[in-house]
Amino acid sequence: MRARAARALDEILDSRAPADSFLATAAGEDPRDRRFLRELVLGSLRWLRRLDWVIEAAARRPVEEIDRKALSPLRLGVYQLLFLDRVPSHAAVDEAVADARRRGCHRGTAGFVNAVLRRVAAGRQIEAWPVDVEDPIARLAIEESHPEFLVRRWIACLGESRTRALLAANNTRRPLHLLCLDEPEVLIRELAEEGVRCERSELAPRGLKVVEGEARATPAFRRGAFYIQDAASQAAAVIPPPDRGERVLDSAAAPGGKSFSLTSTGATIRVTALDRSLRRLGRLRENQSRLGRITPITVADAALAPFAESFDRVVADLPCSGTGTLARHPELRWRLSDAEFERLAKAGLRMLAGLVECVRPGGLLIAITCSIEAEENDEVVAELLASRPRLTLVTLEKSLLPPLDGHVAGLGKWQVLPTSENDGFTVHALRRT
């Protein structure tokens, strides 16, 4: 299992593909093996920078000077020693050494892995490896395992206290959330009979938080009683709530969360799904089939305006950095840069500019990202407004009920930051006059 985890960790760090695409094929059929592999890989990605600090301190050399084949076994070993209480020290050390040998490390390198991990095991508490860096922001970035440039920009934008809370939230394991397509209280009782304990979401009107149990293994999942979706994602999709009879274009629709959230409100709406990826649309159709919610699908690039003034609401899931999802997708934090924010902002603006033409006069254009960065949200919308004088921002306060009204962040803007319970999302609502 640890060898598979090391291979997955290498592949994820060497690529730009989502971690889930590697984890899906790395684990076996046993659910316990799958959970352990996810814990090893995602935990190591989450704490990668702190792990490397400990490795350098114990090895007395920079990680850049360590045989690359030994790095993943070392990182996984240190993660088990410092973050997983139930893993015996000898198991973490012996497995890492054995994996280093399987990877072709020579005898001296395997001995080096053994020596480093034994030093870490002798001080098996994270407090035994303090970050003695003078610059407080650089120290905080290492302690909380985030890129330093990101910590600096968040402190400048959010302040130190909110940034510390955000960093801690990004290093917290998130609960599983369900979007109820049946009545929530009925579903709570049904799942309880299957050994799955749930609570009502504090954010999403039709959301449940799984406290205990395997929701995916229940008859309720198989018959389409719920869709697995983060609470903030559920909420963002219904800002503002749809009116009865709305014609909705869900652009970049796959795998379907926005559509399912909108149709779960009870309003009788007509949704057309749009996406340019046939692979992702295959996942959308699978989800639609399980949930019994088949809608028309169009294969096209949203930026090329495949419809003309046809929809009461166009929902744009913009390309973004995903800085609101760093707890769920920790690999993203090691791929971010200012240049990446700029590239994604340009792609988002191109998409919105094309979709404006699909909105009927008086209709809504809803821009959604799972990013909390101004470049990908506020600045994109400001540039769009400057080039489209017939677009105006919508006043949201009067249309939202508690608790959603508490996250209005300005004219036409709704935002929730990541917490220990949910991801972070940003929504802008515009009307075409």
Q: What is the pLDDT of residues 301-348, one digit of tens each?
A: 999 988 988 999 999 999 999 999 999 999 999 999 999 999 999 999
Decide if 41 contacts 8 (C-beta within 8 A).
yes
| Alpha helix ranges (H) inside 103-200 | 107-122, 136-143, 148-158, 160-170, 184-193
Is there a single domain that holds both residue 255 and residue 395?
yes
Q: Which two tokens stand for residue 40?
A: 């090893």
List the CATH number of the domain containing 328: 3.40.50.150
Query: Within this chain, do residues 270 and 414 fall inside the same structural domain, yes or no?
Result: yes
123-141 in b/e burial notation, b at 16+ Cβ within 10 A? eeebeebebeeeeebebbb
Rounded to 5 degrees, φ, ψ at 148 are -60, -40
Residue 432 contacts residue 390 (beta carbons within 8 Å): yes
- Domain shared by 145 and 222, yes or no: no
381/261 same-domain check: yes
Residues 219 and 265 in one domain: no
* Predicted local distance difference test score (pLDDT) of residue 17: 85
On the question of a cis peptide bond just before residue 240, with omega within 30 degrees of 0, the verdict is: yes
Query: SS3 for 63?
Result: helix
Cβ neighbours of residue 78 under 8 Å, at least 6 residues apart? Answer: 51, 54, 55, 58, 117, 120
pLDDT at residue 210 in the model: 98
Q: Does residue 151 sit in the same domain as residue 238?
A: no
From 101-105, 113-117, 131-135, 141-145, the region with the lowest mean pLDDT? 101-105
- The pLDDT of residue 120 is above 90: yes
Nearest to 405 by CA among 394, 397, 393, 413: 397
CATH number at residue 114: 1.10.940.10
- Condensed to tens digits (0 to 9), the pLDDT of residues 56-78 reads 999 999 999 999 999 999 999 99
Same domain, yes or no: 412 and 324:
yes
Do residues 106 and 185 both lie within one domain? no
Asked whether residue 27 carries a pLDDT value surpassing 70, the answer given is no
Q: Of the candidates 100, 128, 156, which is a domain's last residue?
A: 128
pLDDT of residue 325: 98
Question: CA 160, CA 350: separation in Å to the nearest integer?
Answer: 34
Side-chain-side CA neighbours of 124 within 13 Å: the count stands at 17
Q: Which amino acid is at 232?
A: A
Residues 237-252: tens digit of each pLDDT: 999 999 999 999 999 9
Omega before residue 31 within 30° of 0, cis: no
Please state the pTM of the whole predicted model: 0.94
Report the alpha-carbon distance of residue 231 to residue 241 in Å, rounded.
16
For residue 260, the SS3 value is helix
Domain count, the chain: 4
Q: Are residues 272 and 411 in the same domain?
A: yes
The band of 35, judged by pLDDT with boundaries at 50, 70 and 90, is confident
Q: Provide the residue range defining the domain that includes 184.
A: 177-228
CB under 8 Å to 243, separation ≥6 — which residues?
Answer: 267, 312
Mean pLDDT value across the chain: 95
Domain boundary residue, one of 128, 158, 186: 128
The domain that holds 217 is classified in CATH as 3.30.70.1170
Q: H or E stretch including 104? A: none
Average pLDDT (123-151) is 96
Q: What's the pLDDT at 204? A: 96
Regarding whether 204 and 117 lie in a shared domain, the answer is no
CB 2 within 8 A of CB 40: yes
The predicted model gives 206-234 an average pLDDT of: 97
Q: What are 19's two structure tokens?
A: 């971690």
How far is residue 273's CA from residue 248's CA, in Å, rounded to a whole number?
8
Kindly report whether the peptide bond that precedes residue 18 is cis, defined as omega within 30 degrees of 0: no
165 & 212 share domain: no
Q: What is the rounded average pLDDT of the residues 181-189?
A: 95
Please compute the mean of the pLDDT values over residues 247-270 and round it to a whole number: 94
Helices (H) and strands (E) in the chain, counts: 17, 13
Say what the pLDDT of residue 179 is: 98
- Assess whether 339 and 412 both reside in one domain: yes
Residues 6+ away with beta carbon under 8 Å from 291: 181, 224, 227, 260
